[in-house]
Structure 1
Amino acid sequence: MGAGDVIAQQLVERRGLREHHGRRTLRMVAIGCCFVGPVVGGWYKVLDRLVPGATKAVAVKKMVLDQGGFAPCFLGCFLAITGAVNGLSVEENWSKIQQIWPPVQIANFYFVPLSHRLAVVQCVAIVWNCYLSWKANRV
């Protein structure tokens, strides 16, 4: 989350180090550490117990459960939290979420062992968080 915000500020918004909003980055780090990491990591453990295995069919089942069950609840909470902190618009983010995460998750569940899934999704999330941070903090 913090890396996404730094990238948003430095590469997308081109703020430069003098104009970097450190508090904004710290807010994103706090959301990542206190909410995103623990919740998503716990979900992956639950999901692996619900649907064990690593076949293509299992990966599709996990993606359907993830995107159909977990993602709407998680993203509702996430957007509410970031919205309270940064003024995010739910409508603007929802269409992007639907385009990005299903393909990422099907690959994640098929190719990546449970112990590495959170790391993989967080790498992809850097790009997503960069977008969210930029969108949430546009002036």
Structure 2
Amino acid sequence: MINLFRRLKYISQMAFSDKYLLGTNCIISISLSSVGDVIEQQLEIYKKEIDKWDGIRTRNMAASGMTVGIFCHYWYKLLDNKLPGRNFNAVIKKVLVDQTIASPIVIFLFFATLGVMRSASFSETSEEIKHKFIRLYKAEWIVWPTAQVINFWILPNRFRVLYDNTISLGYDVYTSYVINEPIPTNQSQPQQLQPQDKTLDVINKNQNFIQS
């Protein structure tokens, strides 16, 4: 048992060392993004919104998680270099910069990666961002400011992506729901008549007038 703990400790130290940290962060992000989507799909199956688990959808969410994981890996290094320290002022500055700069980038990266994985056109991806960005960004402000205070105040840089992904597991469920939700179509606008329809409409009105 002691040897097992020593082995696990050695693996953990290697995984979170500078040499392997990027790969570790990618694996963590891919894994927990996948888990978040699987949980959301199981909820949708339970509510009879979908019939069965969609592996391609989970693959797409995993790819988005990897993209975000790579960004966050370098973002936290940059943030610590530009705003060093763990005092109150430094932590608050980091949280504000993270929310106003990194959060929008993360959301855009999610949509962009999904667009590539789905072979969506630029206009389709833009339309999806237009309809869903604000909802996700509002949710970011609910979840992350408090969580990031703990992240920047207590944790060393190498554990931040792990912490992010652990905290965001519930948020990833919501993200999966929003991102995979169909874009609502505007059905309130009256249907425009085609030229031939307009001609028939005029003829019908004239016939009704003559008959009266």
TM range (shorter): 0.7 to 0.9
Give TM-score scaled by structure 2 length: 0.57
1:130–1:79: structure 2 CA closer, same or farther, 3 Å change rule? Answer: same
* Aligned residue in 1 for 2:109: 77
The DSSP-based 3-state class of the residue aligned with 1:13 is: helix
Q: 1:47 aligns with which of 69, 72, 79?
A: 79
Aligned length: 136
1:112–1:100: structure 2 CA closer, same or farther, 3 Å change rule? Answer: same
1:111 correspondence with 2:154 = yes
* Aligned residue in 1 for 2:5: none
1:26 correspondence with 2:59 = yes
1:2-56, Cα deviation, whole Å (9 max, x unpaired):
111011112x32459x8111110000111111x1010011000100111112223
1:38–1:52: structure 2 CA closer, same or farther, 3 Å change rule? Answer: same
Contact 2:65 2:110 in 1 (8 A): no
| Counterparts of residues 95-134 of structure 1 (less than 5 Å) | 95-134=138-177
Query: How many percent of aligned residue pairs carry the same amino acid?
Result: 29
What is the distance in 1 between the residues matched to 2:52 and 2:62?
Answer: 18
Kindly name which structure, 1 or 2, has the bigger radius of gyration based on alpha carbons: 2
Give TM-score scaled by structure 1 length: 0.83
Contact 2:103 2:140 in 1 (8 A): no
1:72-117, Cα deviation, whole Å (9 max, x unpaired):
3333333444467595622332221221121211121112111111
Unpaired segments ≥5 residues, structure 2: 1-32, 119-124, 183-212
Aligned CA RMSD, in angstroms, stands at: 2.4
Unpaired segments ≥5 residues, structure 1: none
1:76–1:137: structure 2 CA closer, same or farther, 3 Å change rule? Answer: closer
* Aligned residue in 2 for 1:65: 97
- Counterpart residue type for residue 95 of structure 2: M
Shift of 1:122: 0.9
Q: 2:69 aligns with which of 34, 37, 49?
A: 37
What is the distance in 2 between the residues matched to 1:134 and 1:94?
Answer: 14
* Aligned residue in 2 for 1:135: 178
